[in-house]
A = this chain, B = another copy of it.
């Protein structure tokens, strides 16, 4: 019996949630879940339809992309996950989707401006869109470099991954993360909804202003601040 049964189960459930939330079709997307104590993570196998997935199909790897357990080939995006786990030590799970509105902003190569409190309930800045990868990065270790493109974007913009749990990768789509795989999936859904709201807002009023700093702070702090009073 596997030593990773619980991790696989967690990872499996988070992946299945992607489909239940209509964030993916066919084999699109993937979620991983990390076990920090053992320095390993579980991830969806590559190209398997969600209907056919079972918990035991999840693949276990270390942060250097060595398969620790599993018979199937891991997601083709595995190296991106590994890089993020290695560099951002407080992440518990990562999700990647091709959800429609999130992808549209990524293809448009635009940050999603912070236009309302739905956005500010989750983060205090525009949702960053990292630039598309250049030819050298693509020709190299592509999925590994995808991870670097994300961490480089956060470094150059001085963003903290613990406060900004999502990014758009230009030309590609969204990556989100959080304290757990379930939370990463939650952020994928919130991002998709915020992306849709922002697009509709700008169609009604192309000059819709960003939120005031005061309102951003208020909404973020009441959920995430020291004196947060949202939730139980």
Contact = CB atoms under 8 A, between A and B. Distances in A.
A101 interface: yes
A218 interface: yes
A25 B194 CA distance: 12
- Integer count of this chain's copies in the complex: 4
A128 interface: no
A159 interface: no
Interface string A194-207: 00111111111100
Interface residues of A, number: 61
Contact of A76 (B106, B193, B222): B222
Nearest to A21: B25
Interface stretch (A8-16, A42-50, A61-69, A82-90): A42-50
Contacts of A189: 25-26
25 contacts: A26-B189, A28-B118, A47-B231, A73-B229, A98-B118, A98-B193, A100-B196, A103-B118, A103-B201, A107-B197, A107-B201, A108-B204, A109-B205, A132-B211, A132-B212, A133-B215, A135-B212, A138-B212, A138-B214, A138-B215, A138-B218, A139-B218, A142-B218, A199-B200, A199-B203
